[in-house]
Amino acid sequence: MDPGAHREFRKYTGDAISTLSWDANTGTHIPFRASVSHKHHTWAKTHFSNPELFLQPRTEKEIRLIVNLARQCGKRIVVVGSGHSPNDLTCTSSWMVNLDGFSSIALENSRELQLEVEAGIRLYQLANELEKRGWAMPNLGSITAQSIAGAIATNTHGSSLMHGTLSQAVVGLTIMLSSGESLRCSAMENEDLYHAALVSLGGLGIITHIVFQAVPAFNLAWKQEVVKTPRILDNWKTDLWTRSEFIRMWWFPYSGRSIVWSANRTEEPLRERPHSWYGGWLGRFSYELALYFSTWFPWLTPIVERYVFSMQYRWEEGPAGSAVQKSQDALTMDCLFPQLVNEWAIPLEKGPEAIQRLQTWLDGDKGNKSGIPFSPKGIYVHAPIEVRVADTTVQAEKPWLDQSCQTGPTLYLNATLYRPFLKNPPEWERYYNAFEWLMKDLGGRPHWAKNFISTSREEFWGMYPKMKDWVELRDAVDPHGMFANDWLKRNLLGDEDDTELTQIKEQIGKT
Ligand SMILES: Cc1cc2nc3c(=O)[nH]c(=O)nc-3n(C[C@H](O)[C@H](O)[C@H](O)COP(=O)(O)OP(=O)(O)OC[C@H]3O[C@@H](n4cnc5c(N)ncnc54)[C@H](O)[C@@H]3O)c2cc1C
């Protein structure tokens, strides 16, 4: 054994790195792939952090070495997938672990259409692997840039009442705990850990493997239609959300209109998407520039939004484009510019009330008919506000921290605010406070990954009957507090720092 192995990292790990990295089976030192100058930021560049070490392990042994060292040195670990969570869930000044280099196929079960994958695999890589086998993901959100572990960690969803969230396809997973032990879990094995880890917020350990349940590949015939928003609300309770397998609505509050996008499986030949005005550089640049000017002259926003709506779709009601595409191409979309997003899950039947009250508020709210106790004066918002659905009551195995409704279908309302050239629009916090007040009034719960600003720890505990179980299990599997990061402490765990990790830190401080 070379006692000087990994000398460059001793400043961070002490001598432990030489002994712990020694692999007697191979007679070599396990690689410790660390960078000391990594600058982390979220996709929308809303949050930044400088981790002490940025670690990109490529094998399970390398992951275990990191965990064992972190425990010995009293370090916290935050795992980051693709960094697409809009809030600061992934920020840390301690050790940041990324599994981009741990993303291969571990096992294939062709009979059951299941793939066991290393958890750093991105959704687009997984979709490609599935496609090679004639399989597909049953459901998807708007993009495929996320890692599979990151996507399920915050309960990423798509838009379909015939599906739950993406975690529905995760039939098993392996998690490495702060002890260095790896536990496999599923509905049959370590069930509690499985249900807690389906939405783990990175707080239980490092998910290293996921068993993914695929479906036979399918194509989707989709169409989008311009419909006046009040007409959609009138049809809410008929077949609006059930007439297609996948359906979503983009609500444009300054246009009086929405787009209803719907898709069903088909055997028709593939047909390209229609031209997208803001898919071209000129449309995209002029839209972003107009939004940028609107940050100084916010009253321009409705004019910009109406213009963009008519360029991208059409002003008259009726069909506004269709295509036939592979499922992963059809379900994903262009999310345009860096953005703030605040998405809440409310009961589906509350949708019309939510949209009407928010529209009233955005229209000036004379006489405070919306009931929202914040002034709408000077507030101008971006479009669309995304309106999507899921039904996790169809999901056999429910994550304990599933934010969707437990007794019926869920509506997700996503208040997007673009950050043109990375500039926040004015008064965004008042808008989000008002929006969140309304969502809470309607029994809502925020999407874990997004930019909610007014929800306290006490409120989260009140929102989740399983929160106590989740926190107790978390403390039991991570007595070292290695995965109790700042975000979790602020939002769920509290600031009490009585974990074993603190004691280790204190001991290190004394030596
Ligand atoms: C443009 C855009 C579009 C989006 N569209 C949708 C959408 O349609 N529907 C939706 O619901 N959400 C959507 N999101 C949110 C996104 O799906 C989630 O934030 C998702 O968690 C991001 O995955 P990630 O790989 O980037 O994970 P990160 O953001 O990097 O991490 C998220 C969480 O996962 C944890 N984590 C990551 N890897 C592991 C691991 N191996 N083990 C344990 N914990 C881990 C992290 O610690 C963190 O807590 C979108 C976000 C953006 C920016």
Q: Can you give the CATH number for the domain in which 413 is found? A: 3.40.462.10
Cα 150 to middle of ligand 1, angstroms: 4
Who lines ligand 1 at CB under 6 A?
A: 43, 78-86, 89-90, 99, 119, 141-143, 146-147, 149-151, 153-154, 156-157, 200-202, 206-207, 335, 447, 449
Average pLDDT over the chain, rounded to an integer: 95
Query: What would the pLDDT profile of 153-195 be if each residue is shown by its tens digit?
Result: 999 999 999 999 999 999 999 999 999 999 999 999 999 999 9
Q: Is residue 501 predicted with pLDDT exceeding 70? A: no
Q: How far apart are the CA of 67 and the centre of ligand 1, in A? A: 22
Task: Please tell me the distance between residue 152's alpha carbon and the centre of ligand 1 in angstroms.
Answer: 7
Instruction: Enter the DSSP assignment of 259.
Output: E
Residues 252 and 303 both lie in one domain: yes
* Residue 138, domain member (yes or no): yes
Q: pLDDT tier at 279 (50, 70, 90 boundaries)? A: very high
Q: Is residue 232 part of a domain?
A: yes
Same domain, 92 and 143: no
Instruction: Name the percent of the chain lying above pLDDT 70.
Output: 97
Question: Comparing 60-69, 451-460, 490-499, which segment has the lowest mean pLDDT?
Answer: 490-499
Kindly state whether residue 463 falls inside one of the protein's structural domains. no
pLDDT (tens digit, 9 = 90+) per residue, 403-417? 999 899 999 999 999
Question: Is it the case that residue 461 has pLDDT exceeding 90?
Answer: yes
Q: Are residues 350 and 294 in the same domain?
A: yes
Look at residue 507 in the predicted model and tell me its pLDDT: 46
Contact between 446 and 452 (Cβ < 8 Å): yes
Question: Distance between CA 313 and CA 274 in Å, rounded?
Answer: 10
| Ligand 1 centroid to residue 428 C-alpha, Å | 23
d(CA 292, CA 426): 11
Q: Return the residue whose CA atom lies nearest to atom 31 of ligand 1.
A: 150
Q: How confident is the model at residue 395 (pLDDT cuts 50, 70, 90)?
A: confident
Min mean pLDDT across 80-89, 286-295, 396-405, 432-441 is at: 396-405
Q: Note whether 298 and 434 are same-domain residues.
A: yes
Question: Are 83 and 153 within one domain?
Answer: no
Residue minimizing CA distance to atom 41 of ligand 1: 207
For residue 32, pLDDT over 80 is answered with yes
Asked if residue 362 and residue 444 are part of one domain, the reply reads: yes
Q: Which of 454, 471, 489 is the last residue of a domain?
A: 454
Which of 43, 80, 103 has most ligand 1 atoms within 8 Å of CB, for mutation? 80
- Burial (CB < 10 A; 0-12, 13-18, 19+), residue 281, is exposed
Q: For residue 149, how far is its CA from the centre of ligand 1 (angstroms)?
A: 8
Determine the average pLDDT of the residues in 198-226.
98
Q: Note whether residue 466 is domain-resident.
A: no
| Residue 506 pLDDT exceeds 60 | no
- Does any domain span residue 474? no
90 CA distance to ligand 1 centroid (A)? 9
Measured distance CA(33)–CA(145) in Å, rounded:
23
Indicate whether 255 and 403 sit together in one domain.
yes
pLDDT digits (tens, 9 = 90+) for 337-356: 999 999 999 999 999 999 99
Q: Among residues 454, 469, 490, which one ends one of the domains?
A: 454
Ligand 1 atom having least distance to the Cα of 120: 41
404: in domain: yes
Q: Give ipTM to 2 decimals.
A: 0.99
Does 453 have pLDDT greater than 80?
yes
Calculate mean pLDDT across residues 75-91: 98
| The predicted structure's pLDDT at residue 275 | 94
Q: What is the reported pLDDT for 497?
A: 56
Mean pLDDT (whole number) for 448-475: 97
Whether the Cβ atoms of residue 76 and residue 44 lie closer than 8 Å to each other: no
Query: Within this chain, do residues 208 and 223 fall inside the same structural domain, yes or no?
Result: no
CA distance 500 to 68: 14
Q: What is the pLDDT of residues 2-30, one digit of tens each?
A: 989 999 999 999 999 999 999 999 999 99
18 and 49, same domain (yes or no): yes
Residue 309's pLDDT band (boundaries 50, 70, 90)? very high
Which range marks the domain in which residue 202 is found?
A: 105-217
The residues, ordered by sequence, that sit 6+ positions from 6 with a Cβ below 8 Å of its Cβ are 13, 17, 18, 21, 29, 32
Region 254-272: mean pLDDT is 98
CB 204 within 8 A of CB 198: no
* The pLDDT value given to residue 509: 40
Pocket test for ligand 1, best of 76, 90, 146 (most atoms within 8 A of CB): 146
Question: Which residue's CA is minimally distant from atom 10 of ligand 1?
Answer: 156
* C-alpha separations of 291 from 252, 279, 337, 413 in Å: 15, 16, 10, 22
**Residue 343 Cα to ligand 1 middle (Å):** 14
Pair (276, 398) in one structural domain:
yes
User: In angstroms, rounded to a whole number, what is the distance separating the alpha carbons of residues 234 and 229?
Assistant: 9
Choosing from 158, 183, 217, the residue where a domain stops is 217
Residues 242 and 327 in one domain: yes
From ligand 1's centre to the CA of 155, what distance in Å?
Answer: 8
Instruction: Kindly tell me if the per-residue pLDDT of 500 is higher than 70.
Output: no
Is 2 a member of any domain?
no
CA 438, 442, 445, 450 torsion: positive or negative? negative
Task: Tell me the CATH number at 11.
Answer: 3.30.43.10
Partners of 115 in beta bridges: 108, 212
Residues 6+ apart with CB under 8 A from 420: 288, 289, 291, 292, 294, 295, 337
Domain count, the chain: 3
> Are 245 and 322 contained in the same domain?
yes
Would 1 be classed as within a structural domain? no
Angle at which helices 500-510 and 60-73 cross, to 10° = 60
Q: Check whether 503 has a pLDDT greater than 60.
A: no
Average pLDDT over residues 231-239: 93
